[in-house]
Structure 1
Protein backbone atom coordinates (compact mmCIF):
# COMPACT_ATOMS: atom_id res chain seq x y z
CA UNK A 1 0.00 0.00 0.00
CA UNK A 2 1.41 3.42 -0.90
CA UNK A 3 1.37 6.41 1.41
CA UNK A 4 -1.16 8.15 -0.82
CA UNK A 5 -3.54 5.21 -0.51
CA UNK A 6 -3.02 5.01 3.25
CA UNK A 7 -3.58 8.77 3.54
CA UNK A 8 -6.79 8.49 1.50
CA UNK A 9 -8.04 5.68 3.72
CA UNK A 10 -7.58 7.88 6.76
CA UNK A 11 -9.47 10.89 5.42
CA UNK A 12 -12.53 11.73 7.47
CA UNK A 13 -14.72 11.90 4.38
CA UNK A 14 -13.80 8.29 3.52
CA UNK A 15 -14.83 6.85 6.89
CA UNK A 16 -17.93 4.66 7.04
CA UNK A 17 -18.42 5.54 10.71
CA UNK A 18 -18.48 9.27 9.91
CA UNK A 19 -21.01 8.84 7.11
CA UNK A 20 -23.31 6.74 9.32
CA UNK A 21 -23.11 9.07 12.33
CA UNK A 22 -23.74 12.09 10.13
CA UNK A 23 -26.66 10.38 8.40
CA UNK A 24 -28.18 9.35 11.75
CA UNK A 25 -27.92 12.91 13.06
CA UNK A 26 -29.51 14.26 9.86
CA UNK A 27 -32.35 11.73 9.99
CA UNK A 28 -33.20 12.70 13.57
CA UNK A 29 -33.21 16.39 12.61
CA UNK A 30 -35.62 15.61 9.74
CA UNK A 31 -37.99 13.71 12.04
CA UNK A 32 -37.92 16.29 14.88
CA UNK A 33 -40.30 18.89 13.38
CA UNK A 34 -42.54 16.17 11.94
CA UNK A 35 -42.91 14.42 15.30
CA UNK A 36 -43.15 17.55 17.44
CA UNK A 37 -46.90 18.11 16.79
CA UNK A 38 -47.47 14.52 17.95
CA UNK A 39 -45.59 15.23 21.17
CA UNK A 40 -42.98 12.59 20.41
CA UNK A 41 -39.21 12.56 20.26
CA UNK A 42 -37.55 10.32 17.68
CA UNK A 43 -36.70 7.59 20.26
CA UNK A 44 -40.27 7.72 21.61
CA UNK A 45 -41.60 7.38 18.06
CA UNK A 46 -39.55 4.19 17.64
CA UNK A 47 -41.04 2.81 20.88
CA UNK A 48 -44.54 3.63 19.67
CA UNK A 49 -43.89 2.00 16.29
CA UNK A 50 -42.86 -1.22 18.04
CA UNK A 51 -45.91 -1.09 20.32
CA UNK A 52 -48.28 -0.40 17.42
CA UNK A 53 -46.98 -3.63 15.91
CA UNK A 54 -47.51 -5.61 19.12
CA UNK A 55 -48.91 -4.62 22.49
CA UNK A 56 -48.66 -5.60 25.26
CA UNK A 57 -45.11 -6.81 25.33
CA UNK A 58 -42.35 -7.08 27.89
CA UNK A 59 -39.82 -4.30 28.36
CA UNK A 60 -37.05 -6.76 27.48
CA UNK A 61 -38.78 -7.78 24.24
CA UNK A 62 -39.40 -4.14 23.34
CA UNK A 63 -35.78 -3.19 24.06
CA UNK A 64 -34.51 -6.12 21.96
CA UNK A 65 -36.62 -5.08 18.96
CA UNK A 66 -35.30 -1.51 19.31
CA UNK A 67 -31.67 -2.71 19.63
CA UNK A 68 -31.47 -1.11 23.08
CA UNK A 69 -30.79 -2.47 26.50
CA UNK A 70 -33.75 -2.37 28.92
CA UNK A 71 -32.06 0.30 31.06
CA UNK A 72 -32.06 2.63 28.03
CA UNK A 73 -35.62 1.77 26.96
CA UNK A 74 -37.08 2.16 30.45
CA UNK A 75 -36.87 5.99 30.66
CA UNK A 76 -38.48 6.26 27.21
CA UNK A 77 -41.35 4.07 28.37
CA UNK A 78 -41.68 6.01 31.66
CA UNK A 79 -42.00 9.28 29.75
CA UNK A 80 -44.61 7.79 27.41
CA UNK A 81 -46.48 6.57 30.49
CA UNK A 82 -46.36 10.06 32.03
CA UNK A 83 -47.82 11.37 28.77
CA UNK A 84 -50.66 8.83 28.98
CA UNK A 85 -49.63 6.81 25.94
CA UNK A 86 -48.62 3.55 27.60
CA UNK A 87 -49.03 1.73 30.90
CA UNK A 88 -46.39 -0.35 32.64
CA UNK A 89 -47.39 -3.24 34.84
CA UNK A 90 -45.82 -6.32 36.34
CA UNK A 91 -46.70 -9.53 34.54
CA UNK A 92 -49.20 -11.78 36.27
CA UNK A 93 -47.15 -14.77 35.10
CA UNK A 94 -43.74 -13.52 36.21
CA UNK A 95 -43.34 -10.60 38.63
CA UNK A 96 -39.83 -9.96 37.34
CA UNK A 97 -41.24 -9.10 33.91
CA UNK A 98 -42.50 -5.58 33.21
CA UNK A 99 -45.19 -5.50 30.53
CA UNK A 100 -45.83 -2.40 28.42
CA UNK A 101 -49.24 -1.82 26.84
CA UNK A 102 -50.75 0.97 24.80
CA UNK A 103 -53.45 3.14 26.31
CA UNK A 104 -56.43 4.31 24.29
CA UNK A 105 -54.52 7.57 23.65
CA UNK A 106 -51.50 5.57 22.53
CA UNK A 107 -53.59 3.58 20.08
CA UNK A 108 -55.29 6.74 18.79
CA UNK A 109 -51.91 8.38 18.20
CA UNK A 110 -51.22 5.82 15.47
CA UNK A 111 -53.86 7.40 13.22
CA UNK A 112 -52.21 10.79 13.69
CA UNK A 113 -48.80 9.32 12.84
CA UNK A 114 -49.77 7.89 9.46
CA UNK A 115 -48.51 11.05 7.74
CA UNK A 116 -44.99 10.74 9.17
CA UNK A 117 -43.44 8.44 6.52
CA UNK A 118 -44.78 10.57 3.65
CA UNK A 119 -43.47 13.76 5.22
CA UNK A 120 -40.06 12.16 5.73
CA UNK A 121 -39.96 11.02 2.09
CA UNK A 122 -40.85 14.53 0.96
CA UNK A 123 -38.19 16.06 3.22
CA UNK A 124 -35.44 13.81 1.84
CA UNK A 125 -36.84 13.96 -1.70
CA UNK A 126 -36.86 10.18 -2.07
CA UNK A 127 -39.66 7.83 -3.08
CA UNK A 128 -40.67 4.62 -1.34
CA UNK A 129 -38.42 2.45 -3.51
CA UNK A 130 -35.37 4.66 -2.89
CA UNK A 131 -36.01 4.74 0.84
CA UNK A 132 -36.46 0.96 0.83
CA UNK A 133 -33.20 0.38 -1.03
CA UNK A 134 -31.29 2.63 1.37
CA UNK A 135 -32.89 0.98 4.41
CA UNK A 136 -32.20 -2.50 3.06
CA UNK A 137 -28.56 -1.63 2.36
CA UNK A 138 -28.09 -0.35 5.89
CA UNK A 139 -29.96 -3.34 7.33
CA UNK A 140 -27.62 -5.72 5.52
CA UNK A 141 -24.65 -3.91 7.04
CA UNK A 142 -26.19 -4.07 10.52
CA UNK A 143 -26.84 -7.79 10.07
CA UNK A 144 -23.21 -8.40 9.12
CA UNK A 145 -21.89 -6.64 12.21
CA UNK A 146 -23.98 -8.75 14.58
CA UNK A 147 -22.86 -12.11 13.16
CA UNK A 148 -19.56 -12.12 15.00
Structure 2
Protein backbone atom coordinates (compact mmCIF):
# COMPACT_ATOMS: atom_id res chain seq x y z
CA UNK A 1 0.00 0.00 0.00
CA UNK A 2 1.43 3.34 -1.07
CA UNK A 3 2.04 6.25 1.27
CA UNK A 4 -0.55 8.94 0.61
CA UNK A 5 -0.69 11.63 -0.49
CA UNK A 6 1.84 10.76 -3.18
CA UNK A 7 4.61 13.34 -3.07
CA UNK A 8 5.19 15.06 -6.45
CA UNK A 9 8.57 14.40 -8.07
CA UNK A 10 10.74 17.47 -8.72
CA UNK A 11 11.96 17.68 -12.34
CA UNK A 12 15.23 15.74 -12.67
CA UNK A 13 15.12 14.48 -9.08
CA UNK A 14 17.10 11.35 -8.25
CA UNK A 15 15.58 8.44 -6.38
CA UNK A 16 17.51 8.86 -3.14
CA UNK A 17 16.49 12.51 -2.97
CA UNK A 18 12.85 11.57 -3.52
CA UNK A 19 13.06 8.90 -0.83
CA UNK A 20 14.63 11.43 1.54
CA UNK A 21 11.82 13.93 0.93
CA UNK A 22 9.20 11.18 1.28
CA UNK A 23 10.74 10.05 4.57
CA UNK A 24 10.58 13.60 5.91
CA UNK A 25 7.09 14.26 4.55
CA UNK A 26 5.38 11.05 5.64
CA UNK A 27 7.35 9.99 8.71
CA UNK A 28 9.34 12.98 9.93
CA UNK A 29 12.56 10.99 9.75
CA UNK A 30 15.81 10.98 7.80
CA UNK A 31 16.51 8.70 4.87
CA UNK A 32 18.60 6.10 6.72
CA UNK A 33 16.06 5.75 9.53
CA UNK A 34 13.27 5.49 6.97
CA UNK A 35 15.07 2.76 5.02
CA UNK A 36 15.55 0.81 8.25
CA UNK A 37 11.88 1.37 9.12
CA UNK A 38 10.70 -0.09 5.78
CA UNK A 39 13.42 -2.77 5.92
CA UNK A 40 15.14 -1.71 2.69
CA UNK A 41 18.94 -2.00 2.65
CA UNK A 42 20.81 1.12 1.53
CA UNK A 43 22.80 -1.00 -0.91
CA UNK A 44 19.55 -1.83 -2.74
CA UNK A 45 19.41 1.79 -3.93
CA UNK A 46 22.87 1.81 -5.54
CA UNK A 47 21.56 0.34 -8.80
CA UNK A 48 18.17 -1.18 -8.00
CA UNK A 49 16.89 -4.20 -9.84
CA UNK A 50 13.30 -5.02 -10.67
CA UNK A 51 12.55 -6.47 -7.22
CA UNK A 52 13.58 -3.24 -5.46
CA UNK A 53 11.74 -1.05 -7.99
CA UNK A 54 8.58 -3.15 -7.62
CA UNK A 55 8.78 -2.77 -3.86
CA UNK A 56 9.29 1.00 -4.14
CA UNK A 57 6.36 1.25 -6.54
CA UNK A 58 4.11 -0.26 -3.89
CA UNK A 59 5.54 1.96 -1.17
CA UNK A 60 5.74 5.29 -3.02
CA UNK A 61 2.86 4.98 -5.47
CA UNK A 62 5.03 5.87 -8.47
CA UNK A 63 5.19 3.53 -11.48
CA UNK A 64 8.37 1.48 -11.99
CA UNK A 65 8.98 3.33 -15.26
CA UNK A 66 9.08 6.67 -13.39
CA UNK A 67 11.30 5.28 -10.65
CA UNK A 68 13.68 3.92 -13.31
CA UNK A 69 14.08 7.43 -14.75
CA UNK A 70 15.28 8.63 -11.34
CA UNK A 71 18.23 6.27 -10.90
CA UNK A 72 20.69 3.95 -12.54
CA UNK A 73 19.12 0.50 -12.62
CA UNK A 74 20.33 -3.00 -13.35
CA UNK A 75 18.85 -4.91 -16.28
CA UNK A 76 18.28 -8.66 -16.38
CA UNK A 77 21.83 -9.31 -17.64
CA UNK A 78 23.50 -7.24 -14.91
CA UNK A 79 24.12 -4.21 -17.15
CA UNK A 80 23.32 -0.65 -16.13
CA UNK A 81 20.40 1.35 -17.46
CA UNK A 82 19.38 4.99 -17.14
CA UNK A 83 15.85 6.01 -18.09
CA UNK A 84 15.42 2.67 -19.85
CA UNK A 85 18.56 3.05 -21.97
CA UNK A 86 21.64 0.87 -21.59
CA UNK A 87 24.73 2.76 -20.40
CA UNK A 88 28.30 1.79 -19.60
CA UNK A 89 29.13 1.20 -15.95
CA UNK A 90 31.48 4.23 -15.99
CA UNK A 91 28.66 6.51 -17.23
CA UNK A 92 27.43 6.98 -13.69
CA UNK A 93 29.69 7.16 -10.68
CA UNK A 94 27.62 7.65 -7.57
CA UNK A 95 30.74 7.45 -5.40
CA UNK A 96 31.80 10.88 -6.69
CA UNK A 97 28.92 13.10 -5.71
CA UNK A 98 28.52 16.62 -7.05
CA UNK A 99 25.89 19.32 -7.03
CA UNK A 100 24.90 22.73 -8.41
CA UNK A 101 25.11 25.36 -5.67
CA UNK A 102 22.51 27.55 -7.41
CA UNK A 103 19.98 24.72 -7.65
CA UNK A 104 20.43 23.99 -3.95
CA UNK A 105 19.97 27.64 -2.99
CA UNK A 106 16.72 27.67 -4.95
CA UNK A 107 15.62 24.40 -3.30
CA UNK A 108 16.25 25.75 0.19
CA UNK A 109 13.74 28.59 -0.25
CA UNK A 110 10.54 27.83 1.68
CA UNK A 111 8.39 28.60 -1.39
CA UNK A 112 10.32 26.22 -3.68
CA UNK A 113 8.63 23.10 -5.09
CA UNK A 114 10.58 21.06 -2.48
CA UNK A 115 9.42 23.36 0.35
CA UNK A 116 12.96 24.15 1.51
CA UNK A 117 14.46 20.65 1.22
CA UNK A 118 17.61 20.16 -0.87
CA UNK A 119 16.96 18.03 -3.97
CA UNK A 120 19.54 15.79 -5.64
CA UNK A 121 19.34 15.52 -9.43
CA UNK A 122 19.97 12.39 -11.48
CA UNK A 123 22.00 14.46 -13.95
CA UNK A 124 24.52 15.22 -11.22
CA UNK A 125 25.24 11.48 -11.02
CA UNK A 126 26.26 11.23 -14.68
CA UNK A 127 30.05 11.11 -14.67
CA UNK A 128 30.60 13.25 -17.76
CA UNK A 129 28.21 16.07 -16.86
CA UNK A 130 30.32 18.79 -15.32
CA UNK A 131 28.01 21.82 -15.35
CA UNK A 132 24.42 22.50 -14.46
CA UNK A 133 22.12 22.53 -17.51
CA UNK A 134 19.84 25.05 -15.78
CA UNK A 135 22.39 27.57 -14.46
CA UNK A 136 25.47 26.84 -16.59
CA UNK A 137 27.76 26.80 -13.53
CA UNK A 138 30.28 24.12 -12.67
CA UNK A 139 29.03 21.29 -10.49
CA UNK A 140 30.89 21.23 -7.19
CA UNK A 141 32.24 18.02 -5.68
CA UNK A 142 30.79 16.85 -2.38
CA UNK A 143 27.65 15.59 -0.75
CA UNK A 144 24.53 17.66 -0.37
CA UNK A 145 24.37 18.80 3.23
CA UNK A 146 21.39 20.70 4.48
CA UNK A 147 19.38 20.65 7.66
CA UNK A 148 16.27 18.49 7.53
CA UNK A 149 13.11 20.54 7.23
CA UNK A 150 9.56 19.39 7.57
CA UNK A 151 7.32 19.92 4.57
What's the TM-score once normalised by structure 2's chain length?
Answer: 0.32
Task: Tell which structure's C-alpha radius of gyration is larger.
Answer: 1
What's the TM-score once normalised by structure 1's chain length?
Answer: 0.32
Structure with higher helix content: 1
